[in-house]
Amino acid sequence: MTTWNLTPMQRHVLICNGATCMGAGAEEVTQQIRDEIRVNKLDDVIHTSRTRCNGRCKDKCVVIDYPKGTWYSVQEEKTARAIVHENVSEENIIYSLQEGERLRGESRIKGLDKYRKRKGKKHKAVLFVGHGSRLEEGNEEVRQFVSRMEPKIDPQYIVQSCFLEFASPNIDDGIQACMEAGADEIHVIPIILLHAGHSKLHIPAEIEEARVQFPEVRFTYGQTIGIHNEIFEILKSRLEEVGFDTAAKHKDTAILLIARGSSDLEAKEDFYKISHKLAGQIDVPIFETAFMGVTTPTVEQGIETCMERGAKKIIMLPYFLFTGILMKRMAHMATEFSKEYPNIDITIANYFGYHPKLQNVLLERLQQTIDGTSTGMQDLENFRKYVEENGYEHSH
């Protein structure tokens, strides 16, 4: 091992190489910082060391600059190189020292106190998990929906929302927010339409990881929205919003119910059950299903089937929870179909969305979780068995 003469050293930069940071690019960050030091001939005055975990995994990749005592969160090369010159953007600062006081960056979560087992009232929390969208508008729909539903939840419960992917806070951050508020029991409720990979694997993986890390906290898990009477009322209301009378008989009209698409057979079966039951509640000669991706029939195939069966009017009914890329794609599809088939009236209904009646479903799912009748707990057990047999690489 090398022994350096560190007498000229003025700064010591510690680069976290713990597992979480390494998975987020800590090796690249290490090399970028060292390259910037070398290019600027600062090797004598700035010394770097790799470290193990520094306890701020949420801020990956973590870099600490001493003696100044500033902690940085690094996700881009420009930030890594800027550390060498001490001109890092405020948004990348986790902690800074000012007049001997450690200050936390405004965008950084507090984190958990190391000594949490203290006297005082314990709380229960509800953590709603949305899917997350690349369009912030879709994420805001989740937040607003949970906010509107919160007054209907027992005030003894802390209520938080989080996202599986594409948005913040993620599930881990949501769990930490509940614990920071004093929760020692957390009911995790997925806001997901159909029971597939996200609800069977990805969310249970997050819960299991938290359960191992915080054994003093009790976690329960709710079931997905699934098949519920309210969803048919919501879908019919979306049809009525585009002028379709759900109580009348319609000639030459087709309804095309469209889902995102999943390779999970149980999810597809439930979607077909929903389609069949909805078709029995409205009087149209043609009722078809389609998927935006992953599986078939595609939307194009669904439209063609409707026309082959004699439809003169087609209503595309999106079974999506939130606006996003898929809704933009569907709007583009409808425009192209209308150009190609000018004699066919093609209309897109509003997506399923966060209708007020959906609150009833989720409040029921919450109550099932609280009273121990939710199938979600079996999902956690199924996940544990799955990991034992197949392993699991945690990617969310």
Report which DSSP code applies to 115.
-
- If one counts every other C-beta atom within 10 angstroms of the C-beta of residue 351, the result is 20
Looking at 101-110, 201-210, 231-240, which range is the least confident one?
Answer: 101-110
More confident residue, 390 or 288: 288
- CA-to-CA distance for 22 and 51, rounded, in angstroms? 11
Give the closest residue to 314 by CA, choosing from 353, 340, 280, 276.
340
* Bridge partners for 258 per DSSP: 290, 318
Q: Which of 218-227, 274-283, 382-391 has the lowest mean pLDDT?
A: 382-391
Confidence of residue 89 (pLDDT cuts 50, 70, 90): very high
137 near 323, Cβ under 8 Å? yes
pLDDT at 209: 86
Q: What pLDDT does residue 43 have?
A: 93
Task: Compare 232 and 387 and report the one with higher pLDDT.
Answer: 232
Average pLDDT over residues 60-82: 94
Q: Tens digit of pLDDT for each residue in 237-294? A: 999 999 999 999 999 999 999 999 888 899 999 999 999 999 999 999 999 999 998 8
Taking residues 125-142, report their average pLDDT: 92
User: What is the percent of the chain where pLDDT is above 90?
Assistant: 70
Which has the minimum average pLDDT: 27-41, 98-112, 326-340? 98-112
Q: Which segment of 50-59, 183-192, 307-316 scores lowest on mean pLDDT?
A: 50-59
- pLDDT of residue 205 exceeding 80: yes
Distance, first Cα to last Cα, the chain: 37
> SS3 helix, strand, coil % of the chain, rounded to 5?
40, 20, 35
How confident is the model at residue 392, as a pLDDT? 67
Averaging pLDDT over each range in 51-65, 184-198, 206-220, which range is the top one? 184-198
Query: Which of 137, 161, 235 lies closest to 193 in space, CA to CA?
Result: 235
**Residue 396 above 80 pLDDT?**
no
pTM for the whole structure? 0.74
Rounded to the nearest 5 degrees, what angle is found at the Cα of 393, between the Cα atoms of 171 and 387?
Answer: 95
CA distance 283 to 375: 34
pLDDT band of 120, cuts 50, 70, 90: low
Instruction: Give every CB contact of residue 192 below 8 A, 6+ residues apart in sequence.
Output: 129, 131, 198, 199, 224, 225, 321
């200050």: which residue's tokens?
Answer: 103
Among 197, 44, 149, which residue's Cα sits nearest to residue 361?
149
Q: Are strands 183-190 and 218-221 parallel, antiparallel or unpaired?
A: parallel
DSSP per-residue codes, 145-167: HHHHHGGGS-TTEEEEEEESSSS
Is residue 55 scored above 90 in pLDDT?
no
* Neighbour tally for 360: CB within 10 Å: 17
CA dihedral 375, 378, 382, 385 (to 10 degrees): 180
pLDDT in tens, 293-326: 888 999 999 999 999 999 999 999 999 998 778 8
